[in-house]
Amino acid sequence: MSIPSHKSSAKKTRSVHAPQRSNGKLRVAAILEAAAAVIAEKGYEAATMAEIAARSGTQIGSLYRFFPNKQSLGDTIIVSARENLEVVFDNFDAGVKALSIRALADNLPALLLEQVFTKPALLKLLDASEDWSVKREEFRIAVVRRIAKTLTIYRSNLPKKSAEHIALVVLANTKAMVTHQKLPDFALRTLEEFRDMTRLYLQSRLGSSMSVKKDISS
Amino acid sequence: MSIPSHKSSAKKTRSVHAPQRSNGKLRVAAILEAAAAVIAEKGYEAATMAEIAARSGTQIGSLYRFFPNKQSLGDTIIVSARENLEVVFDNFDAGVKALSIRALADNLPALLLEQVFTKPALLKLLDASEDWSVKREEFRIAVVRRIAKTLTIYRSNLPKKSAEHIALVVLANTKAMVTHQKLPDFALRTLEEFRDMTRLYLQSRLGSSMSVKKDISS
Amino acid sequence: MSIPSHKSSAKKTRSVHAPQRSNGKLRVAAILEAAAAVIAEKGYEAATMAEIAARSGTQIGSLYRFFPNKQSLGDTIIVSARENLEVVFDNFDAGVKALSIRALADNLPALLLEQVFTKPALLKLLDASEDWSVKREEFRIAVVRRIAKTLTIYRSNLPKKSAEHIALVVLANTKAMVTHQKLPDFALRTLEEFRDMTRLYLQSRLGSSMSVKKDISS
Amino acid sequence: MSIPSHKSSAKKTRSVHAPQRSNGKLRVAAILEAAAAVIAEKGYEAATMAEIAARSGTQIGSLYRFFPNKQSLGDTIIVSARENLEVVFDNFDAGVKALSIRALADNLPALLLEQVFTKPALLKLLDASEDWSVKREEFRIAVVRRIAKTLTIYRSNLPKKSAEHIALVVLANTKAMVTHQKLPDFALRTLEEFRDMTRLYLQSRLGSSMSVKKDISS
DNA sequence: AATGAATGAGATTTCATTCAT
DNA sequence: AATGAATGAAATCTCATTCAT
Please state the rounded mean pLDDT for residues A157-186.
93
Is the pLDDT score of D212 beyond 70?
no
* Spatial contact of B56 and B30, defined as CB atoms under 8 Å apart: yes
* Strand F–CB B50 distance below 7 A: yes
- pLDDT of res. D217: 40
- pLDDT of res. A20: 53
Which of C3, C60, C130, C133 best tests the B interface by mutation, with the highest count of B CBs <10 A? C3
Is the pLDDT score of A101 beyond 70?
yes
CB-defined contacts A:B, below 8 A: 86
Helices (H), chain A: 10-14, 24-42, 49-55, 60-66, 70-96, 101-111, 120-126, 133-154, 160-181, 188-206, 209-217
In chain A, the percentage of residues whose pLDDT exceeds 90 is 68
| Count of residues making up chain B | 218
- pLDDT of res. A5: 38
Q: What is the pLDDT of residues B12-46, one digit of tens each?
A: 333 444 545 557 788 899 999 999 999 998 989 99
- pLDDT of res. D24: 72
- pLDDT of res. C120: 86
- pLDDT of res. D129: 67
Q: What angle, 0 to 180 degrees and rounded to 10, lies between the N-to-C axes of helices D188-206 and C160-181?
A: 60
- pLDDT of res. D149: 98
| Count of residues making up chain D | 218
Please state the rounded mean pLDDT for residues D70-79.
94
* Strand F–CB D24 distance below 7 A: yes
Q: Mind telling me how many Å the CA of B107 is from chain A's nearest CA?
A: 18
- Average pLDDT of every residue of chain B: 85
Closest CA to A77 of A128, A111, A113: A128
- DSSP sequence for C65-109: HHSSSHHHHHHHHHHHHHHHHHHHHHHHHHHHTTS-HHHHHHHHH
Which chain C residue is nearest to residue B79, measuring alpha carbons? Answer: C1
Q: How confident is the model at residue C22 (pLDDT cuts 50, 70, 90)?
A: low
Measured CA to CA, the distance from residue D180 to residue D186 in angstroms comes to 6
Q: What angle, 0 to 180 degrees and rounded to 10, lies between the N-to-C axes of helices C160-181 and C133-154?
A: 120
- pLDDT of res. A22: 59
- pLDDT of res. B35: 96
- Which range, of B161-165, C5-9, D46-50, D182-186, averages the lowest pLDDT? C5-9
Is the pLDDT score of B196 beyond 60?
yes
Q: Is D65 exposed, middle or buried (0-12, 13-18, 19+ CB in 10 A)?
A: middle
Backbone angles phi, psi at B63, to 5 degrees: -55, -45
Q: How confident is the model at residue D107 (pLDDT cuts 50, 70, 90)?
A: very high
- pLDDT of res. B1: 31
Q: How confident is the model at residue B123 (pLDDT cuts 50, 70, 90)?
A: confident
In chain B, the percentage of residues whose pLDDT exceeds 70 is 84
Going by the DSSP 8-state scheme, the letter that residue D80 receives in this structure is: H
Q: How confident is the model at residue C130 (pLDDT cuts 50, 70, 90)?
A: low
In chain D, the percentage of residues whose pLDDT exceeds 70 is 84
* Strand E–CB A47 distance below 7 A: yes
Measured CA to CA, the distance from residue C73 to residue C67 in angstroms comes to 6
Is the pLDDT score of C159 beyond 60?
yes
**Closest residue to E15 (CA, C1′):** A48
Task: Give B-chain residues touching A176 at CB under 8 angstroms.
Answer: 169, 172, 175-176
Containing H/E element for B136?
A: helix B133-154
Is the pLDDT score of D134 beyond 70?
yes
Is the pLDDT score of A211 beyond 80?
no
Between C45 and C7, where is the model more confident? C45
Q: How confident is the model at residue A217 (pLDDT cuts 50, 70, 90)?
A: very low
**Alpha carbon of B104 to those of B101, B198, B202, B206, C39: distances in Å?**
5, 9, 8, 10, 64
Which chain D residue is nearest to residue A44, measuring alpha carbons? Answer: D2
Measured CA to CA, the distance from residue A86 to residue A116 in angstroms comes to 10
Please state the rounded mean pLDDT for residues A89-102.
97
Q: How confident is the model at residue D26 (pLDDT cuts 50, 70, 90)?
A: confident
* Strand E–CB C56 distance below 7 A: no
Q: Mind telling me how many Å the CA of B2 is from chain C's nearest CA?
A: 9
Q: Which residues contact C142 (CB under 8 A, 6 or more apart)?
A: C82, C85
Q: Which residues contact D86 (CB under 8 A, 6 or more apart)?
A: D146
The 8 Å CB, 24+ separation contacts for A141-147 are A142/A82, A142/A85, A143/A82, A143/A85, A143/A112, A143/A116, A143/A167, A143/A171, A144/A168, A144/A171, A146/A85, A146/A86, A146/A89, A147/A89, A147/A108, A147/A112, A147/A171
Positive or negative: CA dihedral D40, D45, D46, D51: positive
Measured CA to CA, the distance from residue C50 to residue C47 in angstroms comes to 9
Please state the rounded mean pLDDT for residues C192-197.
98
Verify whether the Cβ–Cβ distance D76 to A2 is below 8 Å.
Answer: yes
Q: Which residues contact C218 (CB under 8 A, 6 or more apart)?
A: C102
**Alpha carbon of B1 to those of B188, C35, C131, D34, D42: distances in Å?**
63, 21, 8, 18, 9
- pLDDT of res. D20: 53
- pLDDT of res. B206: 96
Chains that touch A (3 or more CB pairs under 8 A): B, D
Which chain B residue is nearest to residue C44, measuring alpha carbons? Answer: B2
- Average pLDDT of every residue of chain C: 85
- pLDDT of res. A135: 84
Task: Give D-chain residues touching A1 at CB under 8 angstroms.
Answer: 75-76, 79-80
Measured CA to CA, the distance from residue C181 to residue C159 in angstroms comes to 33
Could you give the dihedral angle defined by the CA atoms of residues D78, D82, D85 and D87, in that order, rounded to the nearest 10 degrees? Answer: -130
Please state the rounded mean pLDDT for residues D92-109.
97
- pLDDT of res. B195: 98
Q: How confident is the model at residue D130 (pLDDT cuts 50, 70, 90)?
A: low
Task: Give D-chain residues touching C45 at CB under 8 angstroms.
Answer: 43, 45-46, 129
- Separation of first and last alpha carbons in chain C: 70
- Which range, of A29-43, A118-132, C186-200, averages the lowest pLDDT? A118-132
Is the pLDDT score of B217 beyond 90?
no
Is the pLDDT score of A116 beyond 50?
yes
Please state the rounded mean pLDDT for residues B182-198.
92
Q: What is the pLDDT of residues C69-116, one digit of tens each?
A: 999 999 999 999 999 999 999 999 999 999 999 999 999 999 999 999
Q: How confident is the model at residue D22 (pLDDT cuts 50, 70, 90)?
A: low
Q: What is the pLDDT of residues C35-65, one digit of tens each?
A: 999 999 998 999 999 999 999 999 999 999 9
Q: What is the pLDDT of residues B47-92, one digit of tens each?
A: 999 999 999 999 999 999 999 999 999 999 999 999 999 999 999 9
Please state the rounded mean pLDDT for residues B117-145.
85
Containing H/E element for D140?
A: helix D133-154
Residues of C with CB under 8 A from a CB of D: 41-43, 45-46, 124, 127-131, 137, 140, 161, 165-166, 168-169, 172-173, 175-176, 179-180, 183-184, 187, 189-190, 193-194, 196-197, 200-201, 204
Q: How confident is the model at residue C25 (pLDDT cuts 50, 70, 90)?
A: confident
